[in-house]
């Protein structure tokens, strides 16, 4: 028998925990709760992800950092988005499929809320930008985060601002390396103004969350960055975000 690989084990554990999460949390929170239930903890650390003395680095933390460096986006903003979207959980696709008239069933997939509904399709845009299949973007946590990072970078460029150069990885991994106005610009990019031109959509059609979520979503991400956030995922992974 071939030994189980990390990817196989990760997908299996995420699938099991994802179903449990969907049943006990995700559908209960819904889109409205995701926006409003910001229970934030202020932390006084000096790195984008601040770990307590007894908390080892989590795989989730590493996945955010890797995606931030790959696509030239600040890890703090990317993580704040994930917190606002799902409290850093990875719900299964069947908990997220769009259903007309159903609160919370707005078609936002994964930690980064890659959206597909009648007015918005950032899921297919993420697939185009990354070369990752839509199915994998829906189901694989690392791919989902990469998709969100790619969308954030694209929105930043569409708004006329540069992404972080690969020769400056510390600026991606540690948001304290960014100036105030630079960080503010990245937060504005989460609203997605102008990003949908890549899809040929002439009118702004904001998603409920994720890149393209509009002004309300931008404000939620900004507040999370200002106050900080911490949590423990269904996998038992501890993760904290410093206040900015």
225-234 pLDDT, tens per residue?
Answer: 999 999 999 8
Least confident of 6-20, 70-84, 151-165, 202-216: 6-20
Whether 26 contacts 95, CB under 8 Å: yes
Q: Check residues 35 and 240 and name the one with the higher pLDDT.
A: 240
What pLDDT score does 166 carry?
Answer: 82
Alpha-helical regions (H) of 117-213: 122-130, 134-139, 141-158, 169-173, 180-189
Longest dimension (CA), the chain: 55
Minimal CA–CA distance to 140: which of 3, 9, 2?
Answer: 9
Structure-block tokens of residue 155: 């929105």
CA–CA gap between residue 19 and residue 16 (Å, rounded): 5
Q: What is the pLDDT of residue 22?
A: 42
Torsion region of 205: left, alpha or beta (phi above 0 gives left; psi -120 to 50 gives alpha): beta
Whether the pLDDT of residue 65 is over 80: the answer is yes
Q: How far apart are CA 13 and CA 76, in angstroms?
A: 26
Residue scoring higher pLDDT (198 or 189) = 189
Q: What is the pLDDT of residue 98?
A: 81
pLDDT category of residue 176 using cuts at 50, 70 and 90:
low
State the Cα–Cα distance between residues 230 and 79, nearest whole angstrom.
11
- Residue where the block lists tokens 């159903």: 102
CB 156 within 8 A of CB 85: no
Cβ contacts of 90 within 8 Å, gap of 6 or more: 14, 18, 21, 110, 111, 141, 144
| Higher-pLDDT residue of 163, 4 | 163
């Amino acid at each position: 028998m071939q030994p189980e690989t990390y990817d196989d084990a990760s997908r299996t554990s995420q699938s099991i925990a994802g179903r449990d999460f969907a049943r006990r949390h995700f559908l209960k929170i819904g889109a409205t709760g995701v926006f409003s239930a910001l229970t934030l903890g202020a932390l006084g650390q000096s790195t984008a992800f601040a770990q307590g003395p007894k908390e080892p680095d989590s795989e989730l933390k590493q996945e955010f950092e890797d995606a931030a460096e790959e696509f030239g986006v600040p890890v703090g903003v990317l993580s704040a988005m994930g917190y606002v979207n799902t409290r850093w959980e990875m719900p299964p696709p069947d908990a997220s499929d769009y259903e007309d008239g159903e609160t919370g069933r707005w078609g936002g997939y994964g930690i980064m809320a890659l959206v597909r509904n009648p007015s918005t399709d950032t899921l297919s845009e993420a697939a185009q930008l990354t070369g990752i299949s839509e199915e994998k973007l829906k189901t694989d946590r690392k791919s989902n985060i990469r998709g969100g990072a790619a969308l954030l970078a694209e929105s930043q460029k569409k708004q006329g601002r540069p992404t972080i150069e690969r020769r400056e990885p510390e600026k991606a991994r540690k948001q304290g390396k960014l100036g105030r106005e630079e960080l503010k610009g990245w937060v504005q990019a989460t609203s997605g103004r102008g990003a949908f031109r890549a899809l040929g959509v002439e009118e702004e059609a904001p998603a409920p969350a994720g890149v393209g979520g509009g002004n309300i979503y931008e404000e939620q991400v900004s507040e999370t960055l200002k106050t900080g956030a911490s949590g423990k995922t269904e996998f038992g992974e501890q993760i904290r975000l410093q206040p900015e």
